[in-house]
A and B are shown apart, each in its own frame.
Chain A
């Protein structure tokens, strides 16, 4: 019994040490969910817009696209609205830049009312079946994606964005250097 037991004990002891090492090297920060789209192709979509038309990913091909998921009841969305409006003002006449808002997890009526009341000038698409929200890998709102003209996502921002950040992501999309979320 002595020898088998000691070998067994040694083996188990080794496993315990290995186990402790695995536990010790863990970093204990919160893990980020989402933002996997970076470097991937922008998902295709075909959505109705608030003004009654439709917008598809093909319509926006070849442009630098900023896709912003938002809704009427999320407070950070309201915070970033001014930033988006300022960005839109700067680039509304740039033929190669498009800003698209997508309503996420909200009723059409509430979104429409808010858009009218806030005077959102840019194209706002509805996502009635949450298809685009899922295809883009969103888990909440606001989430902003910046897509380069070749169709690859170069910038992701989870949470409210700012004018400066939007400009930076735009620059990176144009010049081709991806920015980290």
Chain B
């Protein structure tokens, strides 16, 4: 066996070895340091993390070098690299197939471990931190080991090869391919941090709010990237794949959605533990589930057990990932069961109409949704294992079960921020909810008057109105409180209110984003119009008010591909909207053509053109014409969610003592505490003074 085909693979392998060794020895050193109470040893823990990071960086740099210089002595470069592919796409080629994607995962994992080590470098003698580091080292070591066994990116290729097929043509069509996987991985891998701290909390018995508070921002950060990553995937599906849909319930899509569901439940549920010390088992279970689901997702994507648009070539990585998943899940469950007696909450839920109860219901609903998605994804495997039947689960199933749960979640999102902690008086609730509720109903009425139909769609609009009105009310209350206290102008009051409680207002902004997303989903799924038309040059077809006139076909040949474009003019109400050109590209190294849609993005509707078949002898082409409403609002909603998360991540100011009128105190007390200042984040949170 040739150890190193070239300098790239030699140094690359060395880098991987460094990461593996540093992770293993780091785990052992910290473990030993804990046992022997050796502070010096513990202080060195972070060093191992940084060395491991250096190692994987070296490996990734070498892989990129190999790809960019087209070093075809490596089997991986033979598989995904190509002399014809532009350099930019060669960079992204690293994560277009199995081995390189594991390399990317390992890079981000080592990066997070190094970041955690840096963040807590002054607290290495804290047992919680030490154990968290150990867990992260163990996970890092596992992924490094994958790169030595089943997913070796530096394996030597067949000799004498001078070019390769290049990345899958689908991955060469759009710049998005550069961003979607790394962003998604930042989300996936980021959840390793709260998971590590949760395990540390279980092992050390420090099951209070400490581990939560330490990792709050890490969890939120990862959640944000997972959200953006999923939405980017939807955007890519829409812009590139040509079927004018954003979500296909594809098993690999579901694999990214599952940790998102449990992760979202988690970031909400921890608020209850922060405030009242309750739902400890829930939070531990949710973070364990989220991390396990990221591993499950990796397994489903890479093991070949499911058919998918995303599926990588199967390899022996499947059993390794499955084994790791089983170990993680069972260890976590075992630890929770072992520590059961320490997980009793000091408080109780006093009333069904309280924020705690709402969060509990939230957990239940998200859990049910996750179960639906998990069952739907795994059912074909179950059917094959148990009854040797090939069965499918598609949109009809996920829609039927997911829509009611989604609507219930929207409702909860609209109502819960108005619920106070502990218990609500009827009077308070009535006062807070009546106006938003009326606005919600009014929204439904308006929608009906405008001709909308579809129960799920109009209910979504109504709940959206309800939720937005609730958010507006909260902002108004906050602004008014500040104006009364500080006499600021409205814009300054807004800024001051947000700065005073960024978590609350950031969260509200995220909810606005969710509302926009929900509206976009409901409208684009429910009110889209699709037709296929056969047109000769000069002929026009009309779909949903848009006149599409086929002009001509243009063929463009380059080294990379041959593209056949059908140019068509779009006119609406006499306004010329321009010429759009859907295309089909064929690549020299792959069979079959890749369709490229041409999309006119409008504020309220998109016109989506596809070239279904090239001109026949008669010169006619078949065009797909779809008019999709409100698609832009999906992306706007995502951007708003990202913005809200940024706000929520800002360190809050410690509020100075201000003499406020009684009414304002009650109002602000019911909406949540101010976050501690930057100094606080370093320390375990002081137990809270409950504000009645």
Q: Which residues of A contact B (CB under 8 A)?
A: 1-2, 5-6, 9-10, 12-13, 16-17, 19-20, 22-26, 28-31, 107, 109-110
**Is there contact, CB below 8 Å, between A28 and B314?**
yes
**Is there contact, CB below 8 Å, between B340 and A6?**
yes
Contacts A13-B334, A28-B303 hold; do A22 and B378 have CB atoms under 8 A apart? yes
**Is there contact, CB below 8 Å, between A13 and B333?**
yes
Contacts A20-B325, A24-B322, A26-B384 hold; do A1 and B343 have CB atoms under 8 A apart? yes
Q: What are 25 A-B contacts with C-beta separation under 8 Å?
A: A1-B340, A1-B341, A1-B343, A2-B341, A5-B281, A5-B336, A5-B340, A6-B337, A6-B340, A10-B337, A12-B333, A16-B326, A20-B325, A20-B326, A22-B378, A22-B381, A23-B299, A23-B305, A25-B385, A26-B303, A26-B384, A28-B318, A29-B304, A107-B617, A110-B617
Nearest CB of A to B389, in Å: 12
**Apart from A5-B336, A23-B381, what are 18 other A-B pairs with CB-CB below 8 Å?**
A1-B340, A2-B341, A5-B337, A9-B334, A10-B337, A13-B329, A16-B326, A16-B330, A22-B378, A22-B382, A22-B385, A22-B386, A23-B299, A23-B305, A24-B322, A26-B305, A31-B390, A107-B617
- B344 contacts the other chain (CB 8 A): yes
Nearest CB of B to A129, in Å: 15
Contact of A2 among B329, B340, B381 (CB under 8 A): B340
Q: Give complex CA distance A29, B314 in Å.
A: 8
Task: Find chain A residues with CB under 8 A from B325 CB.
Answer: 20
Task: Find chain B residues with CB under 8 A from A23 CB.
Answer: 299, 303, 305, 322, 378, 381
Interface residue tally on B, bucketed by range: 20 to 34
Contact of A17 among B303, B330, B336 (CB under 8 A): B330
B 95-129 binary contact with A (CB < 8 Å = 1; else 0):
00000000000000000000000000000000000
- B307 contacts the other chain (CB 8 A): yes
Q: Give complex CA distance A26, B382 in Å.
A: 9
Nearest CB of A to B577, in Å: 32
**Is there contact, CB below 8 Å, between B337 and A26?**
no
Q: Which of B596-638 contact A (CB under 8 A)?
A: 616-617
- B319 contacts the other chain (CB 8 A): yes
Task: Find chain B residues with CB under 8 A from A25 CB.
Answer: 385
Nearest CB of A to B324, in Å: 11
Contacts A19-B378, A22-B385 hold; do A9 and B337 have CB atoms under 8 A apart? yes
Which A residue sits closest to B292, measured CB to CB?
A: A16
Which B residue sits closest to A16, measured CB to CB?
A: B329
Nearest CB of A to B387, in Å: 12
**Is there contact, CB below 8 Å, between A17 and B334?**
no
Q: Give complex CA distance A124, B334 in Å.
A: 68
Task: Find chain A residues with CB under 8 A from B617 CB.
Answer: 107, 109-110
**Is there contact, CB below 8 Å, between B322 and A16?**
no
Q: Give complex CA distance A20, B281 in Å.
A: 23
Which A residue sits closest to B300, measured CB to CB?
A: A23
Task: Find chain B residues with CB under 8 A from A16 CB.
Answer: 326, 329-330, 333
State the majority secondary structure of interface residues on B. Answer: helix
Q: Give complex CA distance A23, B616 in Å.
A: 47
10 shortest A-B CB distances, which residue pairs?
Answer: A28-B304, A9-B337, A26-B305, A5-B340, A28-B314, A20-B326, A16-B329, A2-B340, A22-B385, A13-B333
Q: Which of B308-357 contact A (CB under 8 A)?
A: 314, 318-319, 322, 325-326, 329-330, 333-334, 336-337, 340-341, 343-344
Which B residue sits closest to A9, measured CB to CB?
A: B337
Nearest CB of A to B286, in Å: 13
**Is there contact, CB below 8 Å, between A1 and B344?**
yes
State the majority secondary structure of interface residues on A. Answer: helix
Which A residue sits closest to B326, measured CB to CB?
A: A20
Q: Give complex CA distance A22, B385 in Å.
A: 6
Task: Find chain A residues with CB under 8 A from B305 CB.
Answer: 23, 26, 28
Task: Find chain A residues with CB under 8 A from B281 CB.
Answer: 5
Nearest CB of A to B441, in Å: 41
Task: Find chain B residues with CB under 8 A from A110 CB.
Answer: 616-617
Task: Find chain B residues with CB under 8 A from A5 CB.
Answer: 281, 336-337, 340, 343
Contacts A5-B337, A6-B340 hold; do A31 and B307 have CB atoms under 8 A apart? yes
Nearest CB of B to A113, in Å: 9
Q: Which of B290-308 contact A (CB under 8 A)?
A: 299, 303-305, 307
Task: Find chain A residues with CB under 8 A from B390 CB.
Answer: 31
Q: Give complex CA distance A13, B292 in Å.
A: 13
Which B residue sits closest to A22, measured CB to CB?
A: B385
Nearest CB of B to A173, in Å: 27
Q: Give complex CA distance A136, B616 in Å.
A: 26
Nearest CB of B to A103, in Å: 14
B 228-252 binary contact with A (CB < 8 Å = 1; else 0):
0000000000000000000000000
Q: Give complex CA distance A49, B341 in Å.
A: 81
Task: Find chain A residues with CB under 8 A from B326 CB.
Answer: 16-17, 20
Q: Give complex CA distance A123, B385 in Å.
A: 45
Nearest CB of A to B648, in Å: 31
Q: Give complex CA distance A13, B343 in Å.
A: 19
Task: Find chain A residues with CB under 8 A from B381 CB.
Answer: 22-23, 26
Task: Find chain A residues with CB under 8 A from B343 CB.
Answer: 1, 5
Which B residue sits closest to A25, measured CB to CB?
A: B385
Nearest CB of B to A130, in Å: 14
Q: Give complex CA distance A67, B319 in Å.
A: 44
Nearest CB of A to B428, in Å: 32
Nearest CB of B to A19, in Å: 7
Task: Find chain B residues with CB under 8 A from A30 CB.
Answer: 307
**Is there contact, CB below 8 Å, between A24 and B319?**
yes
Contacts A10-B337, A109-B617 hold; do A20 and B322 have CB atoms under 8 A apart? yes
Q: Give complex CA distance A2, B341 in Å.
A: 6
Nearest CB of A to B617, in Å: 6
**Is there contact, CB below 8 Å, between A9 and B333?**
yes
Q: Give complex CA distance A30, B308 in Å.
A: 11
Task: Find chain A residues with CB under 8 A from B341 CB.
Answer: 1-2
Q: Give complex CA distance A16, B326 in Å.
A: 7
Most buried by A among B318, B337, B341, B378: B337
Q: Give complex CA distance A115, B333 in Å.
A: 68
Contact of A107 among B336, B344, B616 (CB under 8 A): B616
**Is there contact, CB below 8 Å, between B378 and A9?**
no
Q: Give complex CA distance A17, B330 in Å.
A: 8
Nearest CB of A to B335, in Å: 9
Task: Find chain A residues with CB under 8 A from B334 CB.
Answer: 9, 13
Which A residue sits closest to B374, measured CB to CB?
A: A19
Q: Give complex CA distance A5, B333 in Å.
A: 10
